[in-house]
Amino acid sequence: MKLWKRFMLGSALLFSLGTTVNAQEMKPTYWQDLVPQVERVADPFAALDSNQLYDLGTIARYEASLNEPGFKPSEEAKKNIAEIRANLKKQGIDVDHLFSMREQIKQQRMASATQPNKAILDKKHRIPGFITPVEMEGTKVTKFFLVPTAGACIHTPPPPPNQIVLVDYPEGIELVSLATPVWVEGELFNQAVKQDVNYSDGASNVEAVYQINADLVENYEM
């Protein structure tokens, strides 16, 4: 074999080997890594039981109705609400304080569910998950939502938007089953998207805040 041919063959083998090693050595990114580190306040509602939450809901609905034009609460309703408040106070629950915290907790929960983790954007990642098909070419999936649980968006409600990744993979991968896990490699970027996913008895509108133009999609192996 001529020297230049040996050199070219050797270079090709080294490149191939290097690519394989890099793929195997790429540290996996897991779903909890996709959640942003938002500034948190303690959620006082998390410590309440179902009965206490129900009573708070009753008070909240009553107070919301006071703002409705023409609404005039009965004396019985006023008495009932006062008794509920008194009962909660005996349990050490400050109703007015909890209600003042509602909007802050709501915004905190929304941020945790809908915002991307900016620290991991525009970098290469290797993420495990399951396929929810969006576009097919024959028996191959060329665009799909990568989700953390099998059947998400089809058999169960969609996960939060930052727990879904829209993957574009023109090469396509054979869809064995929705329960078959895969690895997806590529640069992760932030671009909000809404997409209908069709299933046997309807369609689900799915929102995601992450996308990947995949370099590689392969069946899951540790």
Q: Which of 114, 132, 122 is nearest to 213 (CA)?
A: 122
Query: What tens digit of pLDDT does each residue of 28-80 get?
Result: 999 999 998 876 667 788 899 999 999 999 999 999 999 899 889 999 999 99
Residues 6+ apart with CB under 8 A from 169: 141, 142, 143, 144, 184, 214, 217
Rounded average pLDDT over 150-178:
90
Rounded average pLDDT over 9-16:
39
Domain ranges of the chain: 27-32+116-219, 44-114
Query: What tens digit of pLDDT does each residue of 140-153 get?
Result: 999 999 999 998 87
Q: What is the pLDDT of residue 32?
A: 94
Q: Are 139 and 175 in contact (CB under 8 A)?
A: yes
Q: What is the pLDDT of residue 39?
A: 66
| Residue range 27-32+116-219, CATH number | 2.40.50.870
Q: What is the pTM of this model?
A: 0.64
* Lowest-pLDDT choice from 42-46, 88-92, 171-175: 42-46
Q: Which of 147, 156, 130 is nearest to 210 (CA)?
A: 147
Q: Are 108 and 40 in contact (CB under 8 A)?
A: yes
